[in-house]
Amino acid sequence: MTVPQAQEAVVARLRSHARAMVWPTIGLVAIVGLTAYYGGSFEEPVINILIFIAAPLLAFFVWLVPLLAWLGRNYTISTRRIVLRSGFLVRTRQELMHSRGYDVTVRKTALQSLFGSGDVLINSGQEHPVLLRDIPDADLVQAALHDLMEASLNPVAARRQQEESNPDETTMWGRR
């Protein structure tokens, strides 16, 4: 006899805070501004051509590569699991089931506290804990993960936990 399982629903789709793109965007604005100011102003045409060739290459490495790296790393939290995807050309996918149980820790730097984000560290008993870097509303994510993990406990573990916390039983002479 099979037990019907509830449909899996996506709770949240996350990626690191957009603050990661501030310096690359400032670099892009500087490249465009310097190219517009100095482009075509030199007497030698070779230097002007080099400026117009170097500017897009520099913009590619300063802005587009960090953008693709930022877009290529995302986290999906569903009612049954956490799915971590990373990479652009080579994709890596890792899944953590809520039913296995894990420990969730939030770590915040001063800048992350200012913006309301933080690093969510998930220790599932593996060698290396999973780190969700610079997640917006990290405290809310931690609370949601705790609720999802508690809701997905298997029935045997839930019954055992309920029996251990039952206040009606009394312990007498070291036995129940």
**pLDDT of the chain, 176 residues: tens digit per residue:** 454 556 889 999 999 999 999 999 999 999 999 999 998 899 999 999 999 999 999 999 999 999 999 999 999 999 999 999 999 889 999 998 888 888 999 999 999 999 999 999 999 887 788 899 999 999 999 999 999 988 887 665 556 656 666 555 555 555 55
- Cα atoms in the Cβ-side hemisphere of radius 13 Å centred on 51: 18
Residue 52 phi/psi, 5-degree rounding, is: -75, -15
Burial of 107 (C-beta count, 10 Å sphere; 0-12/13-18/19+): exposed
Helix count and strand count (H, E) for the chain: 6, 7
pLDDT at 64: 96
pLDDT at 22: 96
Verdict on whether the full-model pTM lies above 0.85:
no
CA distance 110 to 108: 7
Two tokens, residue 39: 């482009």
Q: Are 104 and 33 in contact (CB under 8 A)?
A: no
- The topology (CATH level 3) of 74-164 is PH-domain like (2.30.29)
